[in-house]
Chains A and B, each alone.
Chain A
Amino acid sequence: MYQVLCCGSNGQYQLGIGNDTDQLELVAAKFEIDGTVTTQLAAEPVEVVCGGNHTLVLFSTGEIYSCGDNTFGQCGHQGGQTIEVFRKIDGKWAKAACGWEFTILVDLEGKVYSCGRGLKGELGLGKGVDGNQLREVIDFGPQAVLSVRSSLNHTVVQLADKRLFGWGNARKGQLGVQNAIGTKLESVIWQPRQLKFEGLDDLQVRFFDVGRDYTAFYSNDYKEYGKKATEKVHVNGDVVGLRTMWSSSHLLVKNEKHLSIKSFGNDSHGQLFPQSAHPVVQQFEIGSEHGLILTDQNSVMAWGWGEHGNCGERSGDEVYEDDLSAAAVTYSLNTIYNQAHPVTRLGSGCATSWITIRKL
């Protein structure tokens, strides 16, 4: 049996626990399965994907359950009502990504679908198309889609042949070279198209991720396109992963046998991974402005901006009663889980944290 534990921001039922109160401590997410609401899951949850105020859980069976804000149908259910506990989306799925008010799904045949709201082309369905329900965006074919990532307003897809496709807000160059429209550059890519990033060889891209208004790549070195303009990044060791918060980037680096995290970008609330700490990292996941690591001791620690309980309750002696300074809402590797059940996956969203455990 598995459980999905969560804490953090919950104003739109995005934790799927049946209420809309922020959670400072981990609670088990609830799933409506065959008419019964339960926290015990027979199938293994393999990914938690988070939008602005909605959440999807993808299972090894290809089933996806969703909850949270569904005003625009972004949960993949008929738009309107909030989804208070996780509810199954029809169909079987290979991949999922979520942005602010939209969701992108890829089925087992390589067909891409979208739903929700996309005023800046987020749905990839063309200008002025409303996406209240799931609609097919493009068909890449079986086994063609390697990876799909969405942030606030844009989506990037990497295909098995390493070509990059994307759509959504392009105004800052986050989707690469912009076409000219009259005397101006296009600000939105309304339908999927192959992307070209100046100075980037698609074939060499090993990892990529999307930040709030930029896209980051790691091939032989780190490159980013869009709002941020990080100076050259030097990394000692082998880069084995890349994730972005909304305004900072995080490389998973292998040094000898150990994994560590090298961060750069916005550090207004401790978003950059504390370099004084040396936990043995096994997995990491990155949310909007905080991150999670799983250590070799099966504990999960959070760092960054934790105002909504997404970094857990503060364990140290610091008292910040009625204090809303940056220090009061900033966390530096706070332990949020250290029990015996093995942690299988991490997930991290807009001030939400997710831990999948296998019940012993």
Chain B
Amino acid sequence: METIYDEIEIEDFTFDPITQLFQYPCPCGDRFAIALDDLKDGEDIAVCPSCSLMVRVIFEPEDLEEFEEELK
């Protein structure tokens, strides 16, 4: 069974318009990441490239609109 380490609000993530990734610090020193497109598809688990920890992103679909605006 997957264990979710924690739940993090989307406002706490940093969004990079170039990579279109949302990132948030992981307790290992690396960063949890999830792509804007994945969130649009309803995915909500951000993973860390350096370890097994995962966080659930807390957001509403309409929260994504402001980030899509940034890409225009």
A12 to B30, CA, bound (A): 10
A-contacting residues of B (Cβ < 8 Å)? 1, 3-6, 11-12, 14, 25, 27-30, 50-53
Beta-carbon contact of B52 and A329 below 8 Å: yes
Kindly identify, within residues 1 to 42 of chain A, every residue whose CB is under 8 Å from any CB belonging to chain B: 9, 11-12, 14
A266 to B14, CA, bound (A): 23
Cross-chain contact of B30 among A11, A247, A328 (Cβ < 8 A): A11
Flag whether A84 is at the interface (Cβ < 8 A).
no
List the B side residues contacting A351 at CB < 8 Å.
Answer: 27-29, 51
List the B side residues contacting A329 at CB < 8 Å.
Answer: 51-52
- Mind listing 21 A-B residue pairs with CB under 8 Å? A9-B50, A11-B29, A12-B29, A52-B29, A171-B12, A245-B27, A266-B5, A268-B3, A268-B4, A269-B5, A269-B53, A289-B27, A305-B27, A305-B53, A307-B28, A325-B1, A326-B3, A329-B52, A350-B27, A351-B28, A351-B29
Beta-carbon contact of A350 and B29 below 8 Å: yes
Beta-carbon contact of B5 and A14 below 8 Å: no
List the B side residues contacting A14 at CB < 8 Å.
Answer: 29
Q: Render A327-348 as a binary contact track against B, CB cut-off 8 A, 1 for contact.
A: 0110000000000000000000
Indicate whether A308 sits within 8 Å of B1 (C-beta atoms), given known contacts A266-B6, A268-B6. no
User: What's the minimum C-beta distance from B6 to chain A, rounded to whole angstroms?
Assistant: 6
Indicate whether A9 sits within 8 Å of B28 (C-beta atoms), given known contacts A266-B6, A268-B3, A325-B3. yes
Beta-carbon contact of A213 and B12 below 8 Å: yes
A9 to B48, CA, bound (A): 14
- Per the CB 8 Å criterion, the residue count for chain A at the interface is 30
A240 to B65, CA, bound (A): 49
Cross-chain contact of A53 among B5, B6, B14, B29 (Cβ < 8 A): B29
Indicate whether A171 sits within 8 Å of B3 (C-beta atoms), given known contacts A9-B29, A52-B25, A324-B52. no
Give 6 new A-B contacts, CB below 8 A, not counting A9-B28, A266-B6, A305-B53.
A11-B29, A152-B25, A266-B5, A269-B3, A269-B53, A351-B29
Flag whether A190 is at the interface (Cβ < 8 A).
no
Flag whether A288 is at the interface (Cβ < 8 A).
yes
List the A side residues contacting B1 at CB < 8 Å.
Answer: 325
List the B side residues contacting A325 at CB < 8 Å.
Answer: 1, 3
Closest to B11 in A: A171
User: What's the minimum C-beta distance from B44 to chain A, rounded to whole angstroms?
Assistant: 16
Closest to B5 in A: A268
The 9 A-B residue pairs with the shortest CB-CB distance in the complex, in nearest-first order: A288-B27, A326-B3, A324-B52, A289-B27, A53-B29, A351-B28, A350-B29, A307-B51, A268-B5
